[in-house]
Structure 1
């Protein structure tokens, strides 16, 4: 192996929404015992899902597979109104692990729909977050996946039209599609703050810095993870070979034959222990040192839903005697 140095992207790995979602499942298991049912993978990472399965989580796609009276968790990607209503009708105890930044998009869609707006959504067809957001309405929301789709999208009116975005897209790709939408629909309403989440933005910005300093970029993430795929794609677009691996076992020594420095990052749903495993394997292959990039320090934390919050510990209270 030619590589002698590993350069770690900063930030990388878990974001606040993923931390919260995993915490919700683990606390539900602690409080109510196994099994806890989770609709869809709680986050898109094979290792996280398998660990939760071992603790007693059961992952399902159809609510018919959940027994009456069970505890059900919605995944971090969010669900449609139809799924929410069906879950309530079936009488499950529900904890919603939808990322608050996805919920923000849902709230915006509901608010503007009441004002008569239709929507163009930028996102990937079939992604659970897109299905959840589009499922906030029964009609009037139109998906575009790329600039070419913008030319054929056909809202029923253009006086009240708004754009929303999947939170885990490529920032640059979303900007290009938004520009095409604005060119065709100049009056379209955009969100006050972009829908692409801070963690997606920060990890992409870090890869932009990383790519210029390394010979190859390794992204730790599962194939189903949209934001992880975008990190690998971004490295490639910047001219640096990029590879995505679920864990260290997927590393191929030939990737590093002509590399002096390996850049290493992780998608927002990939735990740091997997990054550490990749570092160990790269050391076995000949890497001598590890260096961290300077980068944004993320301090955002999202609260847990009612019913799972740990009680605050205060001073003991005395009970007056009669």
Structure 2
């Protein structure tokens, strides 16, 4: 038998992984707006939490700003796009006051959470939002309602200590990118303490978050290492790291590019199985880049750990539907490269 020149390695490649329909739609909106209106197109905050995507859009003519007052008055006719995470109601109001033309790329599933929160309030309930303080999605959801109408719960400890003014008129929603297990624990505590607590009419955690966590959960047992492609500020990516550790991976790590792989920790004599997935805002080209980096050092076998097939597609706004994307555009939108 011929001895392999490289040590063997199995990569458990999760599916689904990477771009979800909401991220795909948001990136499409920026690319289509650039084609229709020309550069610059302004984007308030990162359109999605991924440096590769942001840099690729910047190269195409997108200008990222933190606040609307950074847009020069002479460019007020150029579109400004709101990110997939959603924005408080004050942001489009500010845009209108500045006579800015805006396009809202909020993920439809985040918009659904906004509507559920507003429905609770309309029915006389104080809204509990389960989520992470400071995350753009949480800021956007809380900003749909008047100040003081929403209480943020981040942990089971928060849930145990929460003291509402009216325990009989409460309703909850959640950030879309949370850990399913952690959120369930928080909800259980709240429901046991407040039996009249009203749930949202539909699940708040989005299908893509759930699907990616389920795939990691299935692949994690016995993995020596588990790599999640994603940004440090990506909530759904960080939750995947937690899920991998919780369900059996010996080690789990968030990486943005192959250049961040910790080769010093990946001892060929002790590394036989690696799990690999990507958060909902991470492009597939980086997954491919990481696999190729392993192929240079190991004899790689790919073991597909697929737990669901996604076919969701969220349409862009009507004003942009008449613009055609080139093959290079579509490759970028689908996570395949800068084009």
TM interval, shorter chain, is over 0.9
Partners of 1:293 and 1:237 in 2: how far apart?
A: 17
Give TM-score, length-normalised by structure 2: 0.89
What is the rounded CA distance, in whole Å, between the counterparts of 1:159 and 1:217 in structure 2?
44
Q: Distance in 1 between matches of 2:16 and 2:281?
A: 13
Question: Which of 251, 256, 276 is 2:266 aligned to?
Answer: 256
Partners of 1:121 and 1:93 in 2: how far apart?
A: 30
Q: Tell me the SS of whatever aligns to 1:95.
A: strand
Aligned mates of 1:2, 1:221 — CA distance in 2: 27
Instruction: Using the TM superposition, give the Cα deviation of residue 88 of structure 1 relative to its aligned residue in structure 2, in angstroms.
Output: 1.6
CA distance in 1: counterparts of 2:292 and 2:10, whole angstroms: 12
2:241 paired with 1:232: yes
Counterpart selection for 2:282 from 245, 267, 270: 270
**Is the counterpart of residue 108 in structure 1 residue 116 in structure 2?**
yes
Indicate whether 1:300 and 2:312 are aligned: yes
How big is the shift at 1:14? 0.4
The change in CA–CA distance for 1:266 and 1:115 in structure 2 (over 3 A counts) is same
- Following superposition, the deviation at residue 71 of structure 1 comes to 0.8
What corresponds to 1:178 in structure 2?
187
**Kept in 1: contact 2:9–2:301 (CA 8 A):** yes
Residue of structure 1 equivalent to 2:295 = 283
Whole-Å Cα distance in 2 between the matches of residues 163 and 287 of structure 1?
Answer: 49
Deviations 1:201-245 (A, max 9, x none): 000000010001532111111111100001011111223111110
- Give the equivalent residue in structure 2 for 1:125: 133
Shift in Å at residue 2 of structure 1? 5.2
Is residue 156 of structure 1 aligned with residue 165 of structure 2? Answer: yes
Structure 1: gaps (5+ residues): 313-322
Match of 2:299, SS state, is coil
What's the counterpart of residue 37 of structure 1? 42
Check if 1:169 corresponds to 2:181. Answer: no
Residue 21 (structure 2) aligned to one of 13, 16, 28? 16
Task: Summarize deviations over 1:26-66 as a string: whole Å, max 9, x none.
Answer: 00000000111111100000100010011111111111112
Q: Deviations over 1:234-267 (max 9, x none)?
A: 1112231111100100001233211111111000
Question: Is residue 6–residue 261 contact of structure 1 (8 Å, CA) maintained in 2?
Answer: yes
Equivalent residues of 2:220, 2:247 under 8 A apart: yes
Q: Assess if the C-alpha contact under 8 Å between 2:214 and 2:307 holds in 1.
A: no
User: How far apart are residue 131 of structure 1 and its match?
Assistant: 0.2
* 1:122–1:164 Cα contact (<8 Å) kept: yes
Distance 2:240 2:112 in 1: 24
Instruction: Quote the offset at 1:311 in angstroms.
Output: 6.7
Query: Contact 2:222 / 2:248 at 8 angstroms: preserved in 1?
Result: no
From the superposition, tell whether residues 140 and 33 of structure 1 become closer, same or farther in structure 2 (CA, over 3 Å): same
1:3–1:242 distance in 2 versus 1, CA, 3 Å: farther
Q: How many equivalent pairs are there?
A: 312
Q: What per-residue deviation string (whole Å, max 9, x for no partner) do you get for residues 263-303 of structure 1?
A: 11000000000000000001112132223223211000001
- Cα distance in 1, alignment partners of residues 222 and 32 from structure 2: 41
Deviations 1:170-220 (A, max 9, x none): 000000011111111111000132200000000000001000153211111
Q: Which TM-score applies when normalising by structure 1? A: 0.93
The structure 2 residue matched to 1:222, chosen from 221, 231, 236, is 231
Return 5+ residue gaps in structure 2 as ranges. Answer: 1-5, 325-339
The alignment status of 1:94 with 2:102, answered yes or no, reads yes
Contact 1:3 1:262 in 2 (8 A): no
